[in-house]
Structure formats: C-alpha cells, structure tokens
Amino acid sequence: MTTPSIAELFDLSGKGAIVTGGGMGIGQAICYRLSEAGASVMVADVNMDAANQTVDEIKNRGGKAQAIEANAASAADAKKVVAATVEAFGSIDILVNNAGIYPLLPVMRVEEALFDKVISVNLKGSFLFAQTTAEAMINAGKGGKIINLASVDGLHPNGNATPYNASKGGVIMLTKALALELAPHKILVNAVAPGSIMTPGTKNVAASALEAGLTIEQLSKSFTGRIPLERAGQPDDIARAVLFMASAAADYTTGDILLVDGGYLLS
C-alpha cells in the first residue's frame, strides 16, 4: 500500500456531495468545507433562498455548487436530488444527512403531529436519502461515504426534547445498521454527534421556547449548562469532523459515532 500524503488524504477533488439542510447553520459550514476540499456540492434545502446564499458564497470562493429545493423527509425529493446530483456533477460520492429540526416542548404537550414531523425529517429522512443515494453509489460501483448528523441528545436525553431525543437515538442505530449492510459495497456510514452549537436554528428555538413558557434557566441549562471546554461550539467545529469522515483519513472507520461536544457528555 503506498501511503497518500496528508494533502492527498483531504483532497475531495472530482467528488460529488449532497448536503441536506445546507442553507444555513451546520449544513452551510459543511458545504463550505467540502467545497474547500474540492468537492462539488448539491445544496438541498426547503428554504431555497438560504440554499442559494450558500451556493453564491461557494462560487465567490471559486468552488462548484448548485442549489435544489427539497424536503429531506420526502422519498420523491430524495430521488430528485440524487438524479440532479449525478446529472450536474457526474458522480455522487458523499451524502451528508444534516437537515433536522428540534422544537422544544414539555413531553405532556407534544402532539402526535409534532412527533411525526420530527421523526420524519430527522430519522426517516436520513433513511430515505441514504437508501436512494446508496442505490446510485452501488450502481456506480465505486463505494462512497454517508455521514449522518446525530446529536448528544441521541445518547443522553435533553429535557423538553422528547421527539428529538428519540429521533437522534434512532439515527445512531440507523447509522450502525446501514454501515453493516452497506460495507460489502464499500459504502462507509458514520455519524457526527454535535453538542451545543451556535446556529440560526438554536437561536430560533430559544426564542420560541421562551414564548412557550420555558424559563431562561431551563433553556441555558439545556444548551450550554455543563460543557467542560466552557464554550458552545461553532458550525465549523462540526464541519471539520464531517470533512474528516468524508476524507480518506477515515477509510477504515464505519459505523462510528463521532462526538464533537466539548466534553459535554463527560459531565
């Protein structure tokens, strides 16, 4: 085995990537890092304005990207996005299941419709996009990388986030199950589990939770309460970990859940 150089390990030139929810927050940071590494990025989001902004910024920096309106919870949209990616970039090598929602509400006030919505975007969406993308990867016969966004909340429950906790616990086991079944096709499936990260989403959730009657104390406890490194993370902290998983530096790792939480789960 000839050993690739460090620069070669992290070079994604010629690769096509799909990032769901790439319009803002963590997904946007992931799009920027994959693009910096040389990948062409399909930015899929329900919010087309946001997706277009990510694409414009990538193009400003000299990268290649395209925006597509898609709901991560829709099987039809998964097919549409995969077809568009193959069409635009010639191949699909990396999928990042990033789109996710995390409404905060005490469990006794969670209605069935809300439960269904969280599970269908966070869990079923990851399944649908992984299956559709893996089909294209298997047909191409070159293997690939699938990276799911889990969460520390999938390992340890966060208060007032019951559907979310359950969805991310599901994402963790889905990641391992897909890794096991897709390994013969050289498709590696891993997850990154962020702790508290400052994104537009966490800011919105904080605002709406306050409106719903949660106190500031309850909120700050659920967000940055006990982090040994004493800071919330930035979207790029997660994007770096996703870049690692997408790179050749992680070619013997599959079914792993990489925690990026500033030590939160230790405390």
Ligand X SMILES: NC(=O)c1ccc[n+]([C@@H]2O[C@H](COP(=O)([O-])OP(=O)(O)OC[C@H]3O[C@@H](n4cnc5c(N)ncnc54)[C@H](O)[C@@H]3O)[C@@H](O)[C@H]2O)c1
Residues catalogued as catalytic: 164
- Which residue in 39, 42, 46, 179 binds ligand X (CB under 6 A)? 46
Q: Is 47 in the site for other proteins (CB under 8 A)?
A: no
- Which residue in 42, 65, 73, 147 binds ligand X (CB under 6 A)? 73
Q: Is 229 in the site for other proteins (CB under 8 A)?
A: yes
What backbone torsions phi and psi does residue 40 show, to the nearest 5 degrees? -90, 135
Two tokens, residue 176: 């391992």
Q: Is 202 in the site for ligand X (CB under 6 A)?
A: yes
Which residues, in sequence order, are CB contacts of 153 under 8 Å at separation 6+? 102, 161, 164, 165, 168
Q: Is 96 in the site for ligand X (CB under 6 A)?
A: no
Nearest to 13, CA basis, from 71, 81, 85, 63: 63
> Which amino acid appears at position 196 of this protein?
S
Two tokens, residue 201: 């989403």
Which residues are 146's β-sheet partners?
95, 189
Minimum distance of ligand X from residue 181's CB (angstroms): 22
- Which residue in 20, 40, 85, 162 binds ligand X (CB under 6 A)? 20
Residue among 119 and 257 whose Cβ is closer to other proteins: 257
C-beta of residue 92 within 8 angstroms of C-beta of residue 132:
no
C-beta of residue 34 within 8 angstroms of C-beta of residue 44:
no
Largest CA distance in the chain: 60
Select the binding partner of residue 261 from ligand X, other proteins, none (C-beta < 5 to 8 A, by kind).
Answer: other proteins
Minimum distance of ligand X from residue 226's CB (angstroms): 14
Q: Is 85 in the site for ligand X (CB under 6 A)?
A: no
**216-235 footprint of ligand X as x/- string (CB under 6 A):** --------------------
Residue among 46 and 166 whose Cβ is closer to ligand X: 46
Two tokens, residue 174: 């889905």
Residue among 52 and 91 whose Cβ is closer to ligand X: 52
C-beta of residue 229 within 8 angstroms of C-beta of residue 267:
no
Q: Is 89 in the site for other proteins (CB under 8 A)?
A: no
Minimum distance of ligand X from residue 135's CB (angstroms): 20
Site for ligand X in 129-158 (CB under 6 A): 149, 151
How many whole angstroms from its chain centre is CA 111?
26
DSSP tag of 124:
I
Two tokens, residue 251: 């070619």
Mark the segment that binds other proteins (CB under 8 A) among 5-13, 62-70, 78-86, 129-137.
5-13
Residue among 123 and 258 whose Cβ is closer to other proteins: 258
Q: Is 62 in the site for other proteins (CB under 8 A)?
A: no
Minimum distance of ligand X from residue 194's CB (angstroms): 4
Summarize the chain as % helix, strand, coil (round to 5): 55, 15, 30
Other CB atoms within a 10 A radius of the CB of residue 108 amount to: 6
- Site residues, ligand X (CB under 6 A): 20-21, 23-27, 45-47, 50, 70-73, 98-102, 121, 149, 151, 194, 196-197, 199-202
